[in-house]
Chain A
Amino acid sequence: MSNDVILAGIIVVALAVYTLTGGADFGGGVLDALARGPRAQKQRDAIAHAIGPIWEANHVWLILVVVLLFSTFPSAFAAISTALHIPLTVMLVGIVLRGTAFVFRAYDSQAPEVQRRWTRVFSSASIVTPIAIGMSAGAVASGKILWTPELGVTSGFFAGWTTAFAGFVGLFLLAQATLLAAVYLCLETSEELQEDFRVRAIGAAIIVGVTAFGTLFFAKTDAPGIWEGLTAGGSMLVFHAITGVTALGAIGALLKRKYVVARILVAAQVVLVLGGWAMAQYPFIIAPNLTFADAVASPTVTTPILVALAGGSVLLVPAFWYLYRVFKMKTDEQP
């Protein structure tokens, strides 16, 4: 296998891990905004307790994706960051406000009006940021970002992300993040609180379904390349069937209160959707002009980076394992 395929695979895996971990942090913020009723404060506490120790580490996955992109697919990075300057800037402001508001809330005065102010910043940034990420991803998939080796980006600063398709990808990601967070929280809470999150998880799962169909519907006109990839041949159809079954299975598991199963199915659903996108878009890193093979840096760059990634993982994997064992293990053992 050539380096560009391996690196593309690593980037997709890192994106999947980011969605499963960092995405759930955003979802936590959305659920914070949705906290209602007599247990609103308890819901907020459960969310803060769940993401407190891990959110910073979770968000390094995004940095890893960016660094890999600019080290190993430099022209794609330059093209993406030129064409998507606006949504990415919105995303960055969202990330900054969200992370700082979350920590400031913990250390600032516990007086209700102060807490409410930080909560408002935290939760609204948690809603805006995944939408901006989704719109940027939708733009990359849309095939509307035009690029030539001589001129760079030729389609301006609004191509791709201003389509209905990209908008739906944004909403889909938001719903997916909320679903992940709600399902994880079901596993970390009990009794009434658990029921609260279960209801939200089912609601989010339904919205995931609706936005998924909206995304597909608009893909035909706004992202024809992806549409063709997604509808090409029988094997893709089988793939969609599996994704659909996992999604329905997740809802079923939530209805039956089988939370461990629900978590596995929801996670599988995320991986399948990302995998499906990657397969539909391959060999293009930015459709329709730039392929992974064209954009990849020379092997003198990519091989040492792969070595560094392997070396880094040796330290990283046990560290992550330890982090999750310390903070997440007990809840796993519950039925």
Chain B
Amino acid sequence: MPLLMVIAESLWLRTQQTVYLDLAKRWAKGTAIMFAVGAVSGTVLSFELGLLWPTFMEHAGPVIGMPFSLEGFAFFLEAIFLGIYLYGWQKVSPKKHLFAGVMVLLSGTASGIFVVMANAWMNTPAGFEVVDGKFINIDPWAAMFNPGSFTQTTHMALAAFASVGFAVAGIHAALLLRDPTSLFHKKALKIALFIAVPFSFLMPISGDMSAKHVAHTQPVKLAAMEAHWDTENGAALRIGGWPDEETQTTSWSIDIPYALSILAFGAPDAEVKGLKAFDDDLHPPVAITHLAFQIMVAAGTTMMGIGALIGFLAWRRKKLPTDPWVLKLLVAATPLGLIAVEAGWTVTEVGRQPWVIQGIMRTADAVTPMPHLVVPFTLFTTLYLFLGVVVIYLMRRVVFMSPQREEETQQNEVNHVE
């Protein structure tokens, strides 16, 4: 969102076309709504780490404190500059205002990267030794730059831009279908696609890097992602299918011979460890992991396909393709990125089970002794469902509406008040 807003504002500064200013202001409102929910959720998250996982934090807190501390500063900067951006249109010069927007973009991205670094540490722990159950010789920098850090943060950062690009493009495509002459939505769509298309190509590259990394560091997770039960040389890539954890088989899948060995280890006859090579109690929930992985890859591939198609059409026609069928395709693709992100998090978190810190601490040993956890669980789930509904409603109201419609609504409300 901040990237969209910054692009729109710099176009406004360069061209002085008010449509860009309108867009920047709209997307700034979207950022404001999202950030408000994000900021309070950040507070919830940092407390819940302790409220739910006190034992995990007691040991891991010092090791992964560094990215969290830096994230704190990034968060500070993001909040400060967002305040200036949102409330400072009249108070600071246009250049300083744009600078504030760029700072929101940079610090927001940095803060996401820091948090994912901490998560990557749970997958590929580094920077400490365990002696008698205590974590000693802690090196916070080594923990922060753990082996999984680079691939995982790249993957998530790219995903964030690609998914928001597609979501925003899809919504403006829908509005353009309803309101085909709107310059506002055309420009909006153009900027959103300008982000969505290139990032949809970078995603699979980084996905391949991530998968190779998982193959080396977390073979059980890879096996679960692929629902791959038997250790094989020249393993096939499984597409779809339903893994049965009782019989330890996967049925109804499409298998591409040798492809898994090639993708994971770069050689057609490379050995890929199957789930049966590991104790049963070290298996993650295979069906969930496999299914989530399939969903993520399918969504990502579709996005790349649509990105390629639109890139091709735009290049051929030297202008933005706005045929109804293209717009409808984009509307259909609106949720794909967000689905892929959620599915991806499911893969990395569920696929790591039973561990909370891979190979070091089991999730069951990390949880709070607090009874009746179902109460806060229900409470927060309800709260966030409510917030989700309100956010969607408000985004429709203030961000994704044709300018003239917005005026009409406001007029109606004023009449209503009177």
Contacts and interface: CB of A to CB of B under 8 A. Distances in A.
B62 A71 contact: yes
Interface string B136-154: 1111110000000000000
Contacts of A305: 65-66, 69, 140
A56 B46 contact: no
Contact of B87 (A85, A316, A327): A327
Interface stretch (B74-82, B207-215, B351-359): B74-82
Interface stretch (A108-116, A194-202, A223-231, A246-254): A108-116
B40 A57 contact: no
Interface string A110-140: 1110000000000000000000000000000
Classify the secondary structure of B's interface with A: helix
A59 B44 CA distance: 12
B50 A96 contact: no
B403 to A, nearest CB: 16
A93 B80 CA distance: 23
Contacts of B55: 78, 152
A301 B63 CA distance: 7
A95 B62 contact: no
A189 interface: no
B68 A67 contact: yes
Interface in B48-63: 48-51, 54-55, 57-59, 61-63
Interface in A91-112: 91-93, 95-100, 102-104, 107-112
A70 B61 contact: yes
Contacts of B69: 64, 67-68, 71, 305, 308-309, 312
Interface in B91-109: 91-92
A56 B87 contact: no
B405 interface: no
Contact of B44 (A71, A74, A95, A102): A95
Interface string A70-98: 11101101111110010011011101111
A92 B61 CA distance: 20
A98 B58 CA distance: 30
A96 B40 contact: yes
A60 interface: yes
A54 B383 CA distance: 25
Contacts of A153: 369
For chain A, the bracket of interface size reads 35 or more
A316 B73 CA distance: 7
Contacts of A322: 80, 84
A56 B79 contact: yes
A99 B44 CA distance: 12
B339 interface: no
Interface in A282-321: 297-298, 300-301, 304-305, 308-309, 312, 315-316, 319-320
For chain B, the bracket of interface size reads 35 or more
A91 B397 CA distance: 30
Contacts of B43: 59, 62-63, 66, 92, 95-96
A104 B387 CA distance: 10
Contact of B379 (A89, A100, A112): A89
A157 interface: yes
Given A52-B87, A305-B69, A110 B49 contact: no
Interface of B: 29, 32-33, 35-37, 39-44, 46-51, 54-55, 57-59, 61-66, 68-73, 75-77, 79-84, 86-88, 91-92, 136-141, 368-370, 376, 379-380, 383, 387, 390, 394, 397-398, 413, 416-417
Interface of A: 52-54, 56-57, 59-60, 62-64, 66-68, 70-72, 74-75, 77-82, 85, 88-89, 91-93, 95-100, 102-104, 107-112, 152-153, 157, 297-298, 300-301, 304-305, 308-309, 312, 315-316, 319-320, 322-323, 326-327
